[in-house]
Structure 1
């Protein structure tokens, strides 16, 4: 197949003007800002919870949409053009896009923690435009070539999988351990799958929605638990009893951000275990600090992904250790983007992919 020509491609974009007000518009085609950059035609983009939050509320924390912004950041595409200094990619290569670019020079970047870079430019985080567009310009080293056995649709799921990889790395999961994952949304499901790939012998998925737990059981969890309207301690005991871990789990991951889940997490984790906060919720919550102290729990936050996480995510899919295809509920055309957002907001899907404006449906 002949390489794509950017002059023949549309740069139609899905734009958030203000909360609950979106539109489509043809934007200027991007050019290469550096000889180390590549131009990518976006084939598929997944809808993330943060996209929904911006669409509904126009802000996440101190990130506020003040001007029209293109949404989307979970994407895969086809290389159209490469800069003069690019040697790792060529036109026609299929890639997963890592949507955030750090400064590369600050203390965090130089230490390998570029996800903590204060100058991070991240797609669909104000004021940076996102990837629900026809063409995307990117540093070549933030594009990951997809093996022949990994589809572009699977490539669009590398971004949330990389989030899960980073969370499980933070949890330091090792073979034979027990892991409890609070929340069975896309990231929670992927955390369970990555934990299994890391060799965890017991992985418990916890949620309040039975249909999500049914999916989790078929996807990666060894046990599932429907959280009850009881105290955090009672839910924690029920989880420990269910999984046969009376002393508690080696690692507990909260992928929900919900206060009751966070509270139960500290009662589920064993003495000396690890607790990782991956889900974002209210800025402040009631937290069982006594349990944290008495158990000497190692508590960590987790934010996006860092060095090696994207590459490992691609490998997990290519090797068949994580089957991200199962998460795809549906694929819609670009002009159906707003309807797809509504479907995801109503909880009717796990992961909906939006085909790029140049993709034939």
Structure 2
């Protein structure tokens, strides 16, 4: 039927046959899922059973970073046909509230997002979505690359929130997939020729121009050393945090020049402390970034198709569907960067 990978309860996973999802609307599309990546949120639900106010209270199918092939279309679908290869945007907004009408549908209070309680995810044989949330892949892109569009879109959204411009210096905190992709997008989205910082050796190979490991000193001293080592002068133009770590947030505030922009994308503890005085006296622009909104998916696909971002370099393993639990263990152990889970075989 519809073999699915289910989080039964905290640290308990199982494969389960579920009914094949039926089209609810004439604009719906049924997709045969071919590749799914595990995400940090999937691992967190597995470990803790909750993220913020989202709590797993019943068995839930995991996964939301997926690509696949169209198997069935509704009577009014005009942009896709059976056999098309697509990447899936896994969150369906209400489309009627004020934030949806303002083109910030990622903030919709009624958002039904895959693998976020109580909604099932995409790590199954079949999944369905409205046609406008299924993006046809260019012939030049593989289905493996299609599964990377979702995390790349998160990075696109964060960089667009920062209004990165040509020549800007960009400091990125966090060397996980989103941080690495923020580096790549910062260099590509606006033709940015400035500095893009992240941690770890892979970051330098992938997109960053240098890396920085903080010392066991104050955030002021770390920010000062970061600026000196990278010739940031009066400070960086943009700081993006993709780690959620309080020390990174504090350092990011202090490394910015007066009038600089800070964007928070990483989620850590619900509450952290940082220098509100620095925010005021440097008149910083402080923004949040959540998922993706209008135009982010399309731009992510364009960046992949033009090879301005080579996100496939982040994939360190591909496992069969029946070995999906191994992928989650790798995520928990931080073994590798991105693991792809292949779709259910016939």
TM-score tier (shorter): over 0.9
Q: Which residue of 2 is the match for residue 247 of structure 1?
A: 234
- TM-score normalised according to structure 2 size: 0.98
Q: Could you state the TM-score of these two structures normalised by the residue count of structure 1?
A: 0.94
Is there any run of 5+ residues in structure 1 with no aligned partner, and where? 1-9, 208-212
Q: Are 2:29 and 1:42 equivalent residues in the alignment?
A: no
Shift of 1:92: 0.6
Residue of structure 2 equivalent to 1:288: 275
Deviation string, structure 1 residues 71-91 (Cα, Å, up to 9, x no partner): 000000000011111010001
> Within 5 Å, which residues of 2 pair with 1:114-263?
114-197=105-188, 198-207=190-199, 213-263=200-250
Give CA deviations for 1:3-22 in whole Å, capped at 9, x if unaligned.
xxxxxxx4100000110011
**Distance (Å, rounded) in 2 between the aligned partners of 1:81 and 1:349:** 35
Q: Distance in 1 between matches of 2:134 and 2:345?
A: 19
3-state SS, counterpart of residue 241 of structure 1:
helix
CA distance in structure 2 between the partners assigned to 1:230 and 1:151 by the alignment: 45
Corresponding residue of 1:270: 257
- 1:223–1:242: 8 Å Cα contact kept in structure 2? no
Q: Residues of 2 paired with 1:16 and 1:346: CA distance?
A: 18
CA contact (8 A) 2:180 2:198 kept: no
| 1:21 paired residue number | 12
Secondary structure of 1:184 counterpart: coil
Answer whether contact 1:204 1:243 (CA < 8 A) is retained: no
Aligned length: 345
User: 1:3 corresponds to which residue?
Assistant: none
1:305 aligns with 2:271: no
Corresponding residue for residue 64 of structure 1? 55
Residue range with higher mean Cα deviation, 178-187 or 227-236:
227-236
Verify the 8 A CA contact 1:192 1:203 in the aligned structure 2. Answer: no
Deviation at 1:345, TM superposition (A): 1.0
Q: Stretches of 4+ moved more than 6 A in 1?
A: none
Q: Can you give the 5+ residue segments of structure 2 that lack an aligned partner in the other structure?
A: none
* Counterpart-to-counterpart distance in 1, 2:336 and 2:194: 26
For residues 166 and 297 of structure 1, what CA distance do their matches in structure 2 show?
A: 19
